Amino acid sequence: MHTVTRPIIVFLCLCLLLLLLFPVVGSSFYTGLVTKIMILSIFTISLDLLIGFTGLVSFGHAAFFGIGAYLLAILFGNLEQINYWWSLTLTLSLTGVAALLVGWLCIRTSGVYFIMLTLAFAQMFFYFFFESPHFGGDDGIFMLNKPQITLATRQLVDLDNEHHFYYFVLAWLVGVYLFLSMILRAPFGHVLIAIKANEQRVRALGYSTPHYKLVSFVIAGTIAGLAGFLEAAHTNFVTPAYLGWHESGMAIMMVILGGMGTLFGPVIGTFIVVLLQDFLPEFTEHWKLIMGAIIIFVVLFLPNGIAGLIFSISNRFSSRAPGGREG
Distance CA 312, CA 267 (A): 18
Instruction: Give the residue among 312, 307, 308, 264 at the shortest CA–CA distance from 19.
Output: 264
CA separation for the pair 321, 8 (Å, rounded): 12
- 293 Cα distance to chain centroid: 24
C-alpha 190/C-alpha 143 separation (Å) is 42
Least distance from C-beta 97 to another protein, angstroms? Answer: 19
Strand 154-157 with 141-142, pairing: unpaired
Q: Which of 3, 50, 326 has the alpha carbon at shortest distance from 195?
A: 50
> What is the Cα 8 distance to its own chain's centre?
21
Which of 135/212 has CB closer to another protein? Answer: 212
**Could you tell me the smallest distance in angstroms from the CB atom of residue 56 to another protein?**
17
Q: Smaller CB distance to another protein: residue 316 or 320?
A: 320
Residue among 163 and 185 whose Cβ is closer to another protein: 185
Closest approach of another protein to the CB of residue 326, in Å: 8
Q: How far is the CB of 304 from another protein (least distance, A)?
A: 12
User: With respect to another protein, which residue has the nearer C-beta, 146 or 196?
Assistant: 196
Q: Which is nearer to another protein, 228 or 327 (CB)?
A: 327
Where do contacts with another protein occur on this chain (CB under 8 A)?
1, 182-183, 185-191, 194, 197-198, 200-209, 211-212, 215, 323-325, 327
Q: Show the CA angle centred on residue 221, arms to residues 67 and 15, nearest 5°.
A: 105
CB of 133 to another protein, least distance (A): 42
Q: Least CB distance from residue 187 to another protein, whole Å?
A: 4
Q: For another protein, which is the closer residue by CB, 244 or 265? A: 265
Helix/strand/coil for 139: helix
Which residues on adjacent β-strands are paired with residue 141?
A: 238
Tell me how far the alpha carbon of residue 58 is from its chain's centroid.
12
